[in-house]
Structure 1
Amino acid sequence: MRKIFIIEDEQDIIQAVHDELKKWGYDVTGVSDWDNMIAEVKKADPVLILMDITLPMYDGFYWTQQIRSFSQVPIIFISAADFDQNAVRALMIGADDYLVKPFAMDLLTAKVQAVLRRVNAVQEKSLEKFGCELNLLTNDLDFQGESVRLTPTEGLIMKLLMLNANQTVSKKKMISALWQGNNFIDENALNVNLSRLRGKLSTLEGPLQITTIRGQGYRLEEKL
């Protein structure tokens, strides 16, 4: 049974999530010992993590950074506010999506399934463009011996752009490809992921650049 690890301290939410996702074949596990939470995550080896922001000891941003140091498991943040700086910060440090409290359980299920579809859609082992190679299994982007690790969402954005290099990819097409057409995803999440991806490309110092084509979309090009 596919395991989902929920990092949340409100027992009623944990129980509701457990009951809903169990219908879809998921086993939901929560934190039993906050002092050893990272060890519990490693032992559970989940296919996805649901991460609250306000938690005992440290917040969700801290725990996400800790998890990202050893795993690229998809992470969906649970926020008590609308898409604001908290949600932006979550995406910037490696979260793959966000969910606003209170949320409908069918929306939670849709987001979980959409994120897992994105991760499981990877079939090829790598793509190469302009001398850069994207490992589609690990989401590592390599250029001349240097490497940068992308999140699953960033990896799928890069895959789409590489497959359409030197062509403009519309926001609509990008969102549809990333989130399987679920219209509850707005452009903010896409914009944040693109901004984060551009930052990683700049640290790699390779020939790739993502150009915004105003009113049309985005294009992957080789730096001149």
Structure 2
Amino acid sequence: MAKIFIVEDNPTIIKTVTTELNKWKYTTITVHDWDHVDTEIAQASPDIILFDITLPTFDGFYWINAVRKVCQSPIIVISAADIDSNIMHAIAAGADDYIMKPFSTAVLLAKIQALLRRNQQAPSNEKMIWDNNQLNQLTYELTTPAGIVQLTPTEGAMLAILINHLNHTVAKEQLLEWLWQGGKFLNENTLNVNISRLRSKLAIVNLKDSLRTERGIGYRLVTNHEK
């Protein structure tokens, strides 16, 4: 069964989340050394990571950035902060979803299951190509004439959808449905920040203009001849 790494220092929350996840036969792991959170996560190779923001040593933003250098597992942020501040900061740093304290374990479970379903779906083609660019759906690496850029699972899944609908606009609602199982517990800001993060990654390899925003509708990935 799936392995969930819990980066949280509140014993009550750890116990509550662990008990609920164990009921569903998920394996749970917690932090032993707060000075080496990224190393522990890399060694554990979890399927999902749950991240608090306020932690004993460095904060969650620091560790999310550090973890993204060694692990591409989906990250769900657990925070008591307002969505427009810390949550969006965490998503920009590399998180995939969020849940606010106090939270329902049923909602947390739904979010975990949505991300697991998405990431466990075997891609029909390991490599997807548009123009001279190639996306590896297993490693989330985007290879281009200008270099290679590492995407997160959400960024990779989002780009795969856009490649499948090349030169056609994909509605925001459709992206929410495909990426987060409908986004029932998701604020649209999360989608916007993930798109912004993907666009920043594309800019590194001179592809920023390939991702278009159709205001009020959605997003469109274009080929060279459409630019």
User: Which TM bucket (shorter chain)?
Assistant: over 0.9
1:206 CA displacement: 3.6
Aligned to 2:59: 59
The secondary structure found in structure 2 opposite 1:35 is coil
* Letter paired with 2:144: F
Deviation at 1:95, TM superposition (A): 0.7
Does 27-36 or 93-102 show the bigger shift?
27-36
Equivalent residue for 1:119? 119
CA contact (8 A) 1:132 1:206 kept: no
Aligned residues: 224
Counterpart in the other structure of 1:189: 190
Aligned 8 A contact 1:130 1:208 in 2: no
**Per-residue deviation, 1:38:** 3.2
Aligned partner of 2:10 in structure 1 is 10
Measure the CA separation in 1 of the matches of 2:95 and 2:3: 18
Deviation of residue 208 (structure 1)? 5.8
Shift of residue 96, structure 1, vs aligned partner: 0.9
User: Gaps (5+ residues) in structure 2?
Assistant: none
> In structure 2, the residue corresponding to 1:108 is in which secondary structure?
helix
| Contact residue 6 and residue 14 of structure 1 kept, 8 A | yes
Is residue 17–residue 28 contact of structure 1 (8 Å, CA) maintained in 2?
A: no
What is the CA distance between 1:97 and its match in structure 2?
A: 0.8
Residue 23 of structure 1 aligns with an amino acid whose one-letter code is K
Q: How much is the aligned-residue C-alpha RMSD, in angstroms? A: 1.5
The answer to whether the Cα contact below 8 Å between 2:146 and 2:205 also exists between their aligned partners in 1 is no
Q: Deviations over 1:163-212 (max 9, x none)?
A: 00011111111110111124111211000000111111111114861111
Measure how far apart 1:53 and its partner are: 0.4
Output the CA distance in 2 between the equivalents of 1:160 and 1:36.
35
* TM-score after normalising by structure 2: 0.93
Structure 2 counterpart SS, 1:84:
helix
- 1:90-169 equivalences under 5 Å are 90-123=90-123, 124-144=125-145, 146-169=147-170
CA-CA distance at 1:64 after TM superposition: 1.1
1:143, 1:206 within 8 Å by CA — same for their partners in 2? no
- Superposed displacement of residue 42, structure 1: 2.9
SS state of the match for residue 35, structure 2?
helix
Distance 1:168 1:36, change over 3 A: closer
Segments of 4+ moved more than 6 angstroms:
none
Q: Which has the higher mean CA deviation after the structures are superposed, 113-122 or 135-144?
A: 113-122
Question: Separation in 2 of the partners of 1:222 and 1:43?
Answer: 39
How many angstroms does 1:110 deviate by?
0.5
1:148/1:217 CA distance change after superposition, 3 Å: same
- Give the 3 Å change call, closer, same or farther, for CA 128–53 of structure 1 in structure 2: same
Q: Determine the C-alpha separation between the residues in 1 that align with 2:219 and 2:146.
A: 27
| Whole-Å separation in 1 of the counterparts to 2:200 and 2:180 | 22
Q: Which residue of structure 2 aligns with residue 34 of structure 1?
A: 34
